[in-house]
């Protein structure tokens, strides 16, 4: 059994349902309207919240569906059920939302201490609305902007996550300005990837140089705003370089056993990449390593055959990345779910997603960071690769 890791992120699926039907969504059951019931919430509290792996730094992320399709009152009651089972208060909470369902009750909830909010938006209307559509095929931009206006009016800080597709690459400045003008304090760029049930990315034929050009122009446009939102990718590169300077390798939550625990709407427990939850796989028992209704302690999932097979194969892939990739210290071995999606294997190394989201990103942003380690990092990359 692996040494128990500190639980960084607890992902709970309040409902798999989403009111949108985004063309690149990885969720397999987003039409189902089930809700996590009280018994399951109490069992999560008993088995996970009460675990010594859970600390004050653990973030509870309500995800794997659109969280705001349920009323804010549901989450107030849900936290009470978690606390009943776990004997401890719910601390940090995070929501990633399309912002189309935000009302006054949600604004009150988001205003609570310890609650953070992210909004999903891909740029101006014509770009966003090609991908982020509802179940009638209608674009979501106008409704998302209404939600953003409500957040700003209530003085609630938020960040924005933008999915970069092939259609984005010709419009870096327009996207940067549209996202900055939302008033978000930070912006993150998620490269469209093959993941979950999303079997093909529009970026399949895109080369690193194209993405580098996009990211460079995007960063320059973002910097023209005063104040300029933080760019998540620049913060990550800066943190990774600092860790490298201190002789520390970057720890990837997604391939560290137990650093992320995901719980499905009916109590099934998974780990590693949250995107694995709900996928089918005979070899890994559909990535179900236990169920909160059936185990006594969280540590029991680390003894399941499915978990041990999964950990073995993920670890092999990480070891191969460590030996072969000059960027390993800035990445930590990659995303298991993306490796599986692109190659069908966990023990793979480089994927197109990592070439864009890690290698091209690092090469573009490293030169923009004022750090003495940049030349050393570049020399190391050239020496290995």
- Token readout for 273 is 């990449």
Domains and CATH numbers, the chain: 9-245 (3.20.20.70)
Bin 97: left if φ > 0, else alpha if -120 < ψ < 50, else beta: beta
| 371, pLDDT greater than 60 | no
Burial of residue 74, with CB atoms counted within 10 A of its CB: 0-12 exposed, 13-18 middle, 19 or more buried: middle
| pTM of the predicted model as reported, rounded to 2 decimal places | 0.93
The reported pLDDT for the residue numbered 384 is 34
Q: Are 94 and 62 in contact (CB under 8 A)?
A: yes
Confidence of residue 370 (pLDDT cuts 50, 70, 90): low
C-alpha–C-alpha distance, residues 254 and 262, integer Å: 11
Q: What are the backbone angles phi and psi of residue 261, rounded to the nearest 5°? A: -120, 130
Q: Return mean pLDDT, the chain.
A: 92
- Token readout for 7 is 């639980």
Give residue-wise pLDDT tens across range 285-335: 999 999 999 999 999 999 999 999 999 999 999 999 999 999 998 889 999
The reported pLDDT for the residue numbered 379 is 52
Identify which of 232, 249, 280, 302 has the alpha carbon closest to the alpha carbon of residue 7.
Answer: 302
């Amino acid at each position: 059994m692996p040494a128990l890791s500190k639980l960084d992120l607890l992902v709970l699926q309040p409902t798999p349902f989403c009111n949108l039907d985004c063309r690149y969504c990885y969720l397999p059951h987003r039409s189902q309207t089930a809700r996590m019931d009280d018994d399951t919430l109490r069992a999560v509290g008993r088995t996970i919240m009460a675990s010594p792996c859970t600390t004050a730094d653990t973030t509870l992320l309500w995800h794997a569906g659109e969280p705001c399709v349920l009323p804010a009152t549901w989450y107030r009651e849900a936290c009470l059920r978690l606390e009943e089972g776990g004997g401890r208060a719910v601390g940090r909470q995070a929501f990633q939302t399309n912002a189309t369902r935000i009302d006054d009750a949600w604004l009150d909830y988001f205003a609570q201490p310890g609650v953070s909010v992210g909004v999903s938006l891909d740029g101006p209307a014509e770009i966003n609305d090609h991908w982020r559509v509802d179940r009638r095929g209608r674009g979501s931009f106008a409704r998302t902007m209404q939600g953003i206006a409500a957040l700003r009016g209530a003085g609630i800080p938020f960040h924005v996550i933008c999915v970069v597709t092939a259609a984005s690459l010709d419009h870096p400045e327009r996207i940067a300005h549209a996202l900055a003008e939302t008033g978000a304090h930070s912006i993150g760029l998620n490269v469209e990837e093959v993941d979950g049930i999303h079997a093909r990315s529009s970026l399949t034929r895109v080369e690193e140089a194209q993405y580098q050009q996009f990211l460079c122009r995007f960063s320059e446009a973002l910097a023209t705003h005063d104040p300029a939102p933080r760019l998540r990718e620049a913060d990550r590169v800066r943190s990774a370089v600092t860790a490298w300077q201190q002789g520390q390798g970057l720890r990837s939550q997604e391939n560290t056993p137990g650093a992320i625990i995901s719980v499905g709407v009916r109590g099934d427990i998974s780990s590693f990449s949250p995107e694995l939850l709900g996928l089918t796989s005979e070899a890994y028992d559909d990535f179900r390593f236990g169920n909160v209704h059936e185990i006594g302690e969280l540590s029991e999932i680390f003894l399941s055959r499915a978990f041990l097979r999964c950990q073995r194969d993920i670890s092999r892939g990480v070891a191969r990345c460590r030996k072969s990739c000059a960027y390993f210290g800035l990445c930590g071995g990659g995303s298991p779910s993306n490796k599986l999606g692109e190659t069908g294997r966990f023990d793979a190394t480089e994927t197109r997603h990592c070439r864009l989201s890690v290698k091209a990103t690092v090469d573009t942003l490293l030169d923009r960071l004022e750090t003495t380690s940049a030349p050393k990092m570049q020399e190391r990359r050239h020496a290995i690769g």
